[in-house]
Each structure stands twice: as structure tokens, then as C-alpha cells.
Structure 1
Amino acid sequence: MNLLVVKANNRPASEAVSSKMYETFMNNIEGVNVTTYDVFAEDMPYLGQDLFNAFGKIQSGEEMTDIEKRILAAKQKAMDAVTAADVVVFVFPLWNLTIPAKLQTFIDYVYQAGYSFKYDENGQLVQLLTDKKAVILSARGGIYSTPETAPMEMAATYIKNVAGGVFGMEITDEVIIEGHASAPDQADKIVAEGLEKVEAVAKKLSGVLV
């Protein structure tokens, strides 16, 4: 099995819970081929006109600029990483109610008609990555699982809507660690219990009985 871990936090594990989740997962996964795609370490120009200019120059045969070459190469690398994976593990924090911009760029690279989805002759969405599974590991300092706060959460919700709803990946596991910042007196317990769940997911994917 080929497993792609999309790591979307460059803060150290001593300071960031989602980085702790990444480390815990990596320390407990075994028996599978694991590749990490670190969105903060990759050269990932933001989606915009440079990409569309590059597409046009491919058609016309014109010489591309450095930024156009970079964004094409980065987009292809992200797509190739997903193509090679049987399971994609997204590890990310909630920042300002949403995902880090670098993770958004990764999604933008993969969110391509003809690759991850298409429209049929009736204009209906057809999911094209239904042969893949996805795992969501995310941390958020506040509580966003109540009826009042859930509508504000646009990180895990977004990834599930895109990976599951548009791409068609089967979301097999989801671990959310939340509330450790809003309840500092309980933070150690909240994080420890969450990391136990992350460890269990890793061992499940490794085929280890837990």
C-alpha cells in the first residue's frame, strides 16, 4: 500500500498540536510505503494567472517564464503524489477558521477537471478519485463541534467536502483534537487522548491489531 501524508504545519511539535499528530502518526505507521508531502517545504506558487499563461504557452509553443515553469512543475508533482497513493492522510491545523494557505494551494493543484473530477453530458459532477481513501487528522484550539460553532469551522469540513465530495475519496478515519487552547487546565488530557486515537489510526493502516 502506498500512503501519502500531506503535512500542513511548519511549527515544531513542541508548539503545535497538529505537528504532534504528524509525528505520532509517522512514529506508528509501518509496513506500508509512506511519502510525506510537506506543503511548507515545497516550492508552491499560488494558483493564478501564471498557471493559465503557462497552459496557453504549452498550446502555442511559446517559451515560459520561470514562474510559469515552477507552477506547472509544482502542480504536476502534487498530482503525481496523489496518483501514486492508495491512501492520502491530511494533517493540518485550523488557522483563522480555515486551512493554511499552503494546503489550499495543494488542493488547488489537484482540483482539476479531468483529473480529480469531471462533468458528464448532463452537467453532473463525476468523481474521479474513487479508488483512493483519505484520512483527516486535524487540531483546533477552540471548540468547533457544537451546533453553534460548527458552521464556523471551514478546515476539516472543507477537506472532507473536497476530498470526499468532489474527488470521491472514501474518508475512512477522522481524528480531531480540539479545545486544548480554550481549556488549558485540561489541555494535556485532551491532547493525550487525541494522540492515542492518531496512534490507533496508524496501527490500523499498518494492519496491526489495536
Structure 2
Amino acid sequence: MTNVLVVKANNRPDGVSTSMYNAFIEAAATNEALNVTTFDVFEENLEYFGQELFNAFGKAQNGEQLTTREARSLEAFNKSREALTAADVVVFAFPLWNLTIPAALQSFIDYTYGAGYSFKYGEQGELISLMTDKKYVVLNARGGIYSTPQMAATEMSVNYINNVIGGVYGMEKIGEVIIEGHASSKNDAQAIIAAGLEKVKEVAQNLTVNA
């Protein structure tokens, strides 16, 4: 049984990346070899990463009472890491918003990006990835076209996830589906989205082959 964690990062019901999430879940449900769970970063309403977490570490160690924000931050830290630790494959379903990822997804990354957990430093100060036994999939939607050489450098959502999850954490990417141009090409929008959703279904159906 392959444990699949789907990190859902769009709370817009009509969002294209929401449709990608739904298509993946529907297709994955037909694969009996997969145990799929969802971590909805908007539903979790994660406290923003900051000093509250470090205050919580110190207070918890000393048995002191935590403030509400400190308790929420510690809970977010624990839940995010527990979910990621249990996964064999992590699927990120997210949109490009304002050239980057949604803030709620950033919070999940912040709580799981840590020396001694997702990476460590070697004797010479080099970064060593600690999640090389895990794999990941990217499901992304962006209304404009960012795959051209002229626009690629401005795209900081898929690039960011690949740099962090693949580069720092060391997970192996086994699938990537990007739906783009549906907002800038209105006449072709339905066809663009439909083609992308079919690719999402294929990724879900073939997941155990790649995992």
C-alpha cells in the first residue's frame, strides 16, 4: 500500500487547480494500492510561521502555559510534519497566484522546511537532503502562459516547489501536470482544461507504477 498525501492549496470551488485536485482524488479512488489522505492548507488554517513557534518550544519544554497563537503554531508544526512523515508520495495541487504560491501553502512549507527534519548540513556545511525515500507530484494551474523563455523566470510557484521539495528535501518528482493559458486564451479554455485533467487522471492511475 502506497501512502499518498495530497496537499490541497486552493479554496476556490471554481479554481482550475481545485478541479485538478478533484480529478486526482476521483481517479486515485479506483486504485486499490493507494491510501490517499488530504491536507487542505486552507481548512487547516495554519498559524503563520514565526517567533510564536520558538516561544512555544521553550515554554513546552519548561511546562509553561502557551498563548493561543503559540499553541496554534505548535499544532501547525506537529500536524504538518506528521502528515509529511507518513507519506510515501506527496501530491501538491496549487495555483499560481500573483506569480507565486498561496500563502497557506507557504505556511505548510515553512513548518516542514527544517534542518534535522527535511535536510541537514554536512561537515563542510553542504546541504544533505533527508527525504530521498519519498516522491512527489506537481499539479499546477496558471491562467497565463509561463512556459516560454521570456516568462519562465517570473514563474515562482512550480519553480519554488521543485526547488524546495526536489532540491532541498530531496524527493524524486514522478509527475508534473501544468494547465496554463486558459485565462489568456478564452476560446480554447475548455479544451485546455479538459486536456490537462485527463493528464491528471493518468498520473493518479499510474502512481503505483512510478512509486
TM-score (norm 1): 0.95
Counterpart code for 1:20: S
Residues 157-206 of structure 1 show CA distances to partners (whole Å, capped at 9, x for unaligned) of 10000000000000111000000000000101111111110010011015
Question: SS of the counterpart of 1:36?
Answer: strand
What is the alpha-carbon distance in structure 1 between the residues aligned to residue 138 and residue 198 of structure 2?
A: 15
Partners of 2:177 and 2:53 lie apart in 1 by: 34
Match of 1:122, SS state, is: coil
Count of aligned positions: 206
Whole-angstrom CA distance in 2 between matches of 1:164 and 1:43: 25
Displacement, 1:63? 2.0
1:88 to 87, 90, 96: 90
Identity %: 62
Equivalent runs, 1:61-210 vs 2, <5 Å: 61-206=63-208
Secondary structure in 2 aligned to 1:41?
helix
Please tell me the root mean square deviation across aligned C-alpha atoms, in Å: 1.2
Whole-angstrom distance in 2 between the partners of 1:63 and 1:115: 26
Q: Could you tell me which residue of structure 2 aligns to residue 27 of structure 1? A: 26
Matches of 2:205 and 2:39, distance apart in 1:
20
Secondary structure of the 1:136 match is strand
| Higher mean C-alpha deviation, range 182-191 or range 53-62 | 53-62
Aligned letter for 2:92?
Answer: F
Structure 2 spans left out of the alignment, 5+ residues: none
Paired AA for residue 80 in structure 2: A
Task: Kindly state the Cα deviation for residue 43 of structure 1 after the two structures are TM-superposed.
Answer: 3.3
Deviation at 1:125, TM superposition (A): 0.2
Alpha-carbon distance in structure 1 between the residues aligned to 2:25 and 2:129 = 29
State the 1:78 CA deviation.
Answer: 0.7
Taking the aligned partners of 1:134 and 1:154, their CA distance within structure 2 comes to 18
> AA paired with 2:21?
Y
Structure 1 alignment gaps of length 5 or more: none
1:9 corresponds in structure 2 to 10
